[in-house]
Amino acid sequence: MSASIVLNLKSVRARKARLALALGGAGRVVPGILGAMLVAAGIAALMASINPGWILVGIGIKALVLQIWLRWDIYTPTNVLISSTSQIDQLLESKLLAHLGWPMQQPELWTKLMAGWQGVFVVNRLMIPSDMVRQLLPAKEADGILDAALKLAVQNGYYELDAGVILAAYLLNAPEIKPLLDSLKINQDQVLSVLDWQQRTATAMRSRQQSARGGIGRDWTAGFTPVLSQYSQNLSQQIEGGYYRHIPQVHQTAVDQIVSELDSGKGTVAIIGEVGSGKTSLVYSIAERLLDGNAPESLKYHYVLQLNASMLISSHERIENIVLHLLAEAVHAKNIILFLDEAQLFFGEGAGAVDLSKILLPVLSNPSIKIVMAMTAGDWQHLIAATPALTGLVGRVTMPEAPEAEVLKVLQDAAVGLEYTSNTLITQTAVQESYKLADRYMTESAFPGKGVSLLESATQYASQEIVTAASVAKAIEAITGSKVVGASRAERTQLLNLEDQIHQSMVNQVRAVQVVSDALRRARAGVKNSKRPVGSFLFLGPTGVGKTELTKALAAVYFGGEDRIIRLDMSEYQKPSDIDRLLAPQGATRAGHSLIGAIRTTPFSVVLLDEIEKAHSDILNLLLQL
């Protein structure tokens, strides 16, 4: 053992760890059940004037005290940040400490680490063959690894030395493992990212074990809300019941701002963000914070209820009467926050909408009711234009797209829930590929939502129940039709003979066909700029030489059919004002068909700008940027 650290396997904590291991799960519940039964039997005996009843009550109370001690002293995990210390036995995770002996050689310690879920978590997410690593490790004492693990835990602010931290220390410091990691293309950043993923998962598990939201009879202090319950979903109850898996929110500043707005006299907040930016997850985070009591006094233990617009519309009664009734219930309950997702639907904007503006506008100015609305920036602008009075009544919180590092954390944490529902294992490379491909191909929505959506789709393409980067590539191919996975043998043959296949549909133009075919081959080989088109060509020649025919042949042979052509007759764009018809701004869903919209719908396609010489010069200059 290194002189800098001490592992005392006879310490009080080590003995408690071995006791918890020996008792197993039964130690958590059996003493409590037995104690309750003995106390009940003793009370029954006393009521029947049987003297030994006091003995039964006394033994039962001792069993209950034992249950409390086991729960809070033996089974409750530590929740104190690790600091530099020589007492390693005070820092090791309880189950790992109970299993350890000392001295211990490196291969033996590796085996112990793989006995816990934390070590398996790290190895599986990195797709590292554990048995091969064990064979590579030298038969010498592992005290140096514990030293490295302690430093790693201190640097990253972890709560305990579990198997995941020590295993990561192996991967980062054992020279015998490095050649294997290099062959698997696993670098230090990936190891640290997966370790952080494992530690966040462990922290979430500790929080669930220790959380005690609210108090006894808390719900009895609120008013009765039968109509409101009928037309809404209780997001707070979903959190309490475990139906909603918590994903760490990347916009904590936004949570703080919304809670502050709700606590103010205004009381109504609009969350503005693009589809997928996490508006609904943000509201769940707010509900969770309120349940935990981490909020101003005016909001503590409030419930968040999401109104269901479709249920309101489908009701047989007058919608106005229902809404007035449920709003009155919310005011009377005094602990309700109403959440209007896609709030424009409640103000008569969009398909399936209902215009309740005459009812809601007076309510928004009433501080006795709290309302959170969510919508996109485009919908907010349309709503403000139609109802200017909203501007002064509603606090606005804009959600910017999260940075890559934060999005990757959200994807990792979401992957844990997806693994449970799909019975798969999601690797680190799959998470990284989901971010990369969603960023490139799914431009119609925002992160982190589109990354989670792609990762969920990738579970359908798991290989042997393992979701890899290839699974994500197959999912994006199915969604967009783009070719992302490496070329198959059949496709390679097609690419090599592309000229011959195109010439089956058109005669001559050997040079043009060759240039286009070479561009496709370079693109599939990865020799291209991912932010630019596969190729941009200007076909010149008189009518009838095959300009349009080459485009059709290319689409039919390689892109999957002539329906993969996005054709624009440029003779229809002869005025500067036609630019608005050509390019619709992002998020403008009411702009109709446009070039940008067509490309977003069918990204793997051939764009044909027919008779481009007839377009206005301003439009030509704009197209040069593409």
Q: Which of 366-370, 377-381, 560-564 has the lowest mean pLDDT?
A: 366-370
- Using the predicted structure, report yes or no on whether residue 464 has a pLDDT greater than 70: yes
Confidence bin at 74 (pLDDT 50/70/90): low
Sequence-ordered list of residues with C-beta below 8 angstroms from that of 520, at least 6 positions apart, any chain: 495, 498, 534, 535, 558
Separation of CA 438 from chain center: 13
- Using the predicted structure, report yes or no on whether residue 405 has a pLDDT greater than 90: yes
Mean per-residue pLDDT for 72-82?
Answer: 58
List 194's β-bridge partners, or say none: none
- Using the predicted structure, report yes or no on whether residue 530 has a pLDDT greater than 70: yes
More confident residue, 123 or 208: 123
Mean per-residue pLDDT for 119-139?
Answer: 96
Pairing of strands 268-272, 370-375: parallel
Confidence bin at 548 (pLDDT 50/70/90): very high
More confident residue, 532 or 296: 296
Helical pair 188-210 and 143-156, crossing angle rounded to 10 deg: 70
Which range of 11-25, 139-153, 164-178, 581-595 scores highest in mean pLDDT? It is: 164-178
Q: Residue 527, exposed/middle/buried by CB under 10 A (0-12, 13-18, 19+)?
A: exposed
pLDDT tens digits, residue range 409-441?
999 999 999 999 999 999 999 999 999 999 988
Report pLDDT for 218.
Answer: 53
Report pLDDT for 79.
Answer: 58
Distances (CA, A) of 460 to 76, 410, 431, 466, 519: 38, 20, 15, 10, 32
Mean pLDDT (the chain) is 85
List the one residue out of 272, 346, 350, 357 whose CA is nearest residue 309.
346
Tokens 């530590």 locate to 78
- Using the predicted structure, report yes or no on whether residue 127 has a pLDDT greater than 70: yes
Q: Residue 578, exposed/middle/buried by CB under 10 A (0-12, 13-18, 19+)?
A: middle
Report pLDDT for 283.
Answer: 93
- Using the predicted structure, report yes or no on whether residue 2 has a pLDDT greater than 60: no
pLDDT tens digits, residue range 476-509?
999 988 888 878 888 889 999 999 999 998 888 9
List the one residue out of 135, 308, 294, 153 whose CA is nearest residue 214.
294
Confidence bin at 586 (pLDDT 50/70/90): very low
The first and second tokens of residue 404, run together, are 């890559």
Separation of CA 14 from chain center: 37
Please give the Cα distance from 387 to 378 (Å, whole number).
14
Tokens 């070329």 locate to 487
Report pLDDT for 337.
Answer: 95
Q: Which of 10-14, 220-224, 353-357 has the lowest mean pLDDT?
A: 220-224
Where residue 152 falls (left for φ over 0; alpha for ψ -120 to 50; beta otherwise) is: alpha
Sequence-ordered list of residues with C-beta below 8 angstroms from that of 574, at least 6 positions apart, any chain: 614, 615, 616
Which range of 213-222, 319-328, 394-403, 452-461 scores highest in mean pLDDT? It is: 452-461
Which range of 186-200, 372-386, 533-547 scores highest in mean pLDDT? It is: 186-200
Please give the Cα distance from 312 to 353 (Å, whole number).
10
Q: Which of 274-278, 388-392, 444-448 has the lowest mean pLDDT?
A: 388-392
| 171 within 8 A of 187, measured Cβ to Cβ | no
Please give the Cα distance from 201 to 119 (Å, whole number).
13
- Report the SS3 class of residue 178: helix
pLDDT tens digits, residue range 228-247?
999 999 999 888 877 766 56
pLDDT tens digits, residue range 275-315?
999 899 899 999 988 988 888 988 988 999 999 888 887 77
List the one residue out of 542, 502, 536 whose CA is nearest residue 519.
536
pLDDT tens digits, residue range 90-114?
788 888 888 888 788 999 999 999 9
Report pLDDT for 56.
Answer: 73
Mean per-residue pLDDT for 185-204?
Answer: 94
- Using the predicted structure, report yes or no on whether residue 585 has a pLDDT greater than 60: no
* Eight-class DSSP state of 221: G
Distances (CA, A) of 552 to 302, 538, 566: 61, 15, 11
Please give the Cα distance from 214 to 291 (Å, whole number).
6
Q: Residue 491, exposed/middle/buried by CB under 10 A (0-12, 13-18, 19+)?
A: middle
| 523 within 8 A of 535, measured Cβ to Cβ | yes
Please give the torsion angle defined by the CA atoms of residues 464, 470, 473 and 474, in that order, rounded to the nearest 10 degrees.
Answer: -40
Helical pair 357-364 and 319-333, crossing angle rounded to 10 deg: 20
* CA atoms lying within 13 Å on the CB side of residue 426: 30
Neighbours of 46 (CB within 10 A): 15
Mean per-residue pLDDT for 591-618?
Answer: 85
More confident residue, 188 or 442: 188
C-alpha distance across the termini of the chain, in Å: 64
Report pLDDT for 584.
Answer: 66
- Using the predicted structure, report yes or no on whether residue 591 has a pLDDT greater than 50: no
Report pLDDT for 71.
Answer: 61
Question: What are the start-end ranges of the E strands in 118-247?
Answer: 232-234
Q: Which amino acid is at 353?
A: A
Please give the Cα distance from 565 to 578 (Å, whole number).
21
Where residue 374 falls (left for φ over 0; alpha for ψ -120 to 50; beta otherwise) is: beta
pLDDT tens digits, residue range 203-226?
888 777 665 555 444 554 556 788
Element containing residue 269 per DSSP (H, E)? strand 268-272
Report pLDDT for 502.
Answer: 94
Angle at 487 between CA 483 and CA 490, to 5 degrees: 115
More confident residue, 79 or 297: 297
Q: Which amino acid is at 304?
A: V
Q: Which amino acid is at 589?
A: T
Neighbours of 616 (CB within 10 A): 16
| 315 within 8 A of 213, measured Cβ to Cβ | no
Task: For the chain, give the percent of residues with pLDDT over 90.
Answer: 45
Element containing residue 373 per DSSP (H, E)? strand 370-375
